[in-house]
Structure 1
Amino acid sequence: MPLVESDAIILRSRAFGEADKLVSFFCRGHGRLRGLAPSARRSRRRFGAALEPLSHVRLWFYEREASELVRLSQSELVEGYWETRGELERSLALGQVVELAELLLPEREPADSAFRLLLAVLEGFKKEETLWLPLTYFQLWMTRLAGWLPALDACSRCRRPLGDEPAYASVDRGLLVCRRCRRPGLRQISPASRADALAMLASPLRKLPAEGWDRRRARELGRYLLDVIEYHSEKKLTTRELLDEEA
């Protein structure tokens, strides 16, 4: 099989056997993959620190017939983001980015927009003191890329503009409805949270002001987005529980 060269972001890596590493990564041109890095624990000559989680790397690998794993040949570090983990809360937030990436990013399918999103979010964690803006930005855009985000500026039922009034979320039906169309049991989404979401959809992360983005501001929108993701993926997010416990 021919040697493949591509930009990639390392999601996870762990020991495998006596000397190898098993690596989960997201490749710009080939989607999400898993690979075996032979002798990566015994010698740093071919891989060095370029298999650390949350690393942007240049990666060379071979695809193997009848195998889910590719064989990693070499990697070069472009930018390392593992030092942004810092305190426990930030480390858990970055862990959620990895968990969402492994859950929702397409396997073996090119997804340049998702690659650029993940890279921008890692840059956001590195540059901003607040973790809640880049984390919520990633939650929102992953929900949208998965096709699970309803229109945020108009009622999903009657199409009436929501304006400055609260909206009401139906997670199971993927709807966001107005006061007139709501039914009992729907969760309220405030105008402020919808405004934050619309701003994030309209602007690159690097251009959004980070001031005022604390856990309280992110809570309502983040809770709704994670409810949507968990419902449609039929999977409970481990990092969600851990971040809630850290509050």
Structure 2
Amino acid sequence: MPSFFDASRDCGDAPARQGYWSASGVVLRRREDPHEGFRLLAFLKGTGLCWVNAPWAARGRRRFGAATEPLSWGEYRFYQSPRRTTLQDARLVDSYLSLHRDAESFREALEACLWLSRLPLGIPGDEVLGLFWSHFRALTLPLVRPPLRVRFLYRWLRVQGSAPELRRCSRCGEPLRGSLAWGRWGLECCAGRAEVPPDFLQDLCRAAMLAREPFVEWVKTRYPGGLSPSDRARWKEAEGWLQGFFPEGRSLFQKGEGS
């Protein structure tokens, strides 16, 4: 985890009234206005999702450089007025240019940004921000993507306290074994349907539970030549299943703009 997530540093809480404040985080979206500058949708430490105004420099030139580009992580200083939050200064930490150079990685990063942009405004989510940073780091590696997505979703659910149990049946409570089914409240071993092969359950557990370095090595070893069509279909099913456990439901993951 980078130093700008250090819990001992400024938590980034915006003041209730006027004043200067600082926070680290990531830019999710940007909207430009030819007269007033541009607005940033950022996910900030200690603050959560918020809209920020960033004025143009003299003669309509853009200020703050790459730190205000979508997908960029940085440290930011703001001025809070009764009506708006205005960006005063920005220091780029990582622009993730490598993601821009790879179409699949870039698409995955933008989709994750879209997911976060649909969360409620103004609710702190530092653990989610940390997971998001780790997901970005993983996207820079030459790994197959579906296990990364499932890992991110499961860990996000775990932070919210709504992750499904992966070791016991959600219906009978017994340890999972044999042919399994995707259930509304978790995996089921007594549903009479064979949707989840036992070997894929082990893969799912590894993707969700392994620490970062062991996970990276496992993915490289497990899928050295990429995913087969059947493997890809199973990971897609797992992804859709996990999306159903979010309080916002699958609408959080639909195509289109966020907040």
Q: Is the 8 A contact 1:26 1:115 kept in 2?
A: yes
CA distance in 2, matches of 1:198, 1:223: 16
Q: How does 1:89-168 map to 2 (within 5 A)?
A: 89-104=104-119, 107-163=121-177, 165-168=178-181
Which runs of 5 or more residues in structure 2 are unaligned?
1-17
Displacement, 1:170? 2.7
CA distance in 1, matches of 2:248, 2:160: 12
CA distance in 2, matches of 1:222, 1:39: 41
Secondary structure, counterpart of 1:59 in structure 2? strand
Match of 1:58 in 2: 75
Match of 1:245 in 2: none
TM-score, scaled relative to structure 1: 0.79
Q: Is the 8 A contact 1:85 1:94 kept in 2?
A: no
Secondary structure, counterpart of 1:160 in structure 2? coil
Question: Does the C-alpha gap of structure 1 residues 14 and 231 become closer, same or farther in structure 2, counting only changes over 3 Å?
Answer: closer
Q: Is the 8 A contact 2:64 2:89 kept in 1?
A: yes
Q: Is the 8 A contact 2:39 2:54 kept in 1?
A: yes
1:188 aligns with 2:195: yes
Displacement, 1:189? 2.9
CA distance in 1, matches of 2:169, 2:39: 46
TM-score, scaled relative to structure 2: 0.76
Displacement, 1:11? 0.9
Q: Is the 8 A contact 1:7 1:56 kept in 2?
A: yes
Displacement, 1:87? 4.1
Q: Is the 8 A contact 2:76 2:89 kept in 1?
A: yes
Match of 1:175 in 2: 186
1:42 aligns with 2:66: no
Question: Does the C-alpha gap of structure 1 residues 154 and 88 become closer, same or farther in structure 2, counting only changes over 3 Å?
Answer: same
Secondary structure, counterpart of 1:9 in structure 2? strand
Match of 1:242 in 2: none
Question: What are the superposed Cα offsets for residues 79-127 of structure 1, whole Å, 9 maximum, x if unpaired?
Answer: 11143133443332222211221224x5323322111111111111113
Q: What number of residue pairs does the alignment pair up?
A: 228
Match of 1:76 in 2: 91
CA RMSD of aligned residues (A): 2.8
Secondary structure, counterpart of 1:136 in structure 2? helix
CA distance in 2, matches of 1:231, 1:176: 20
CA distance in 2, matches of 1:187, 1:235: 28
CA distance in 2, matches of 1:197, 1:78: 32
Q: Is the 8 A contact 1:36 1:72 kept in 2?
A: yes
Secondary structure, counterpart of 1:189 in structure 2? coil
1:224 aligns with 2:241: yes
Question: Does the C-alpha gap of structure 1 residues 26 and 149 become closer, same or farther in structure 2, counting only changes over 3 Å?
Answer: same
Which runs of 5 or more residues in structure 1 are unaligned?
240-247
Q: Is the 8 A contact 1:54 1:81 kept in 2?
A: yes
What amino acid is the match of 1:101?
L
